[in-house]
């Protein structure tokens, strides 16, 4: 869709907002829940750090495939090098409404995966008490990537 028609701020904004709301719902309901589930599952394995790294890779590959066809209008608007003043206004208005608090499940799940994957590395780098890792890993091994 091109925005090179008579400006309709309400209609154009509504189209992109609908697309944005679907994207936020996708991040929360699909990716966020998947990340959280994979994080909890990886903690239950003998090597949680390794499986959380594999889970992060899987989520990124899955998300890359799942993002095809989503956010097309906003992408077209953002990628257009010859934007009109109206299109710049529309882009700014929409991007100002993108707030991380609209997809908390995604943020929580993905951050949890990253914490599980990187906790031993941070503990080793910053000289933190290794006994605190038992809060995350329990009795599981966390020596795969440990320095």
Q: Is there a contact between 56 and 145 (Cβ–Cβ < 8 Å)?
A: no
Give residue 105's pLDDT: 93
Domain extent listing, the chain = 9-137
53 closest CA partner among 3, 143, 116: 116
Give residue 37's pLDDT: 96
Give residue 21's pLDDT: 85
Give residue 2's pLDDT: 53
Q: Beta-carbon neighbour count of residue 28 at 10 Å?
A: 18
Q: Is there a contact between 108 and 38 (Cβ–Cβ < 8 Å)?
A: no
Give residue 30's pLDDT: 92
Please identify every stretch of the chain with a pLDDT value under 70, giving residue numbers as ranges.
1-7, 136, 139-147
49 closest CA partner among 123, 147, 141, 127: 141
Give residue 147's pLDDT: 41
Distance CA 108, CA 11 (A): 33
Give residue 58's pLDDT: 96
Which two three-digit tokens encode residue 66?
A: 């799942």
């Amino acid at each position: 869709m091109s925005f090179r028609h008579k400006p309709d701020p309400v209609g154009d904004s509504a189209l992109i907002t609908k697309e944005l709301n679907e994207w936020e719902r996708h991040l929360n309901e699909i990716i966020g829940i998947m990340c959280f589930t994979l994080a909890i599952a990886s903690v239950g394995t003998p090597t949680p750090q390794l499986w959380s790294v594999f889970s992060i890779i899987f989520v990124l590959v899955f998300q890359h495939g799942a993002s095809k066809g989503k956010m097309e209008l906003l992408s077209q608007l953002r990628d257009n090098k010859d934007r009109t003043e109206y299109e710049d206004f529309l882009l700014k208005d929409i991007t100002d409404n993108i707030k991380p608090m609209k997809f908390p499940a995604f943020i929580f799940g993905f951050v949890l995966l990253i914490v599980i994957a990187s906790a031993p590395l941070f503990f080793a780098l910053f000289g933190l008490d290794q006994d605190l890792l038992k809060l995350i890993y329990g009795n599981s091994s966390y020596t795969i990537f440990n320095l």
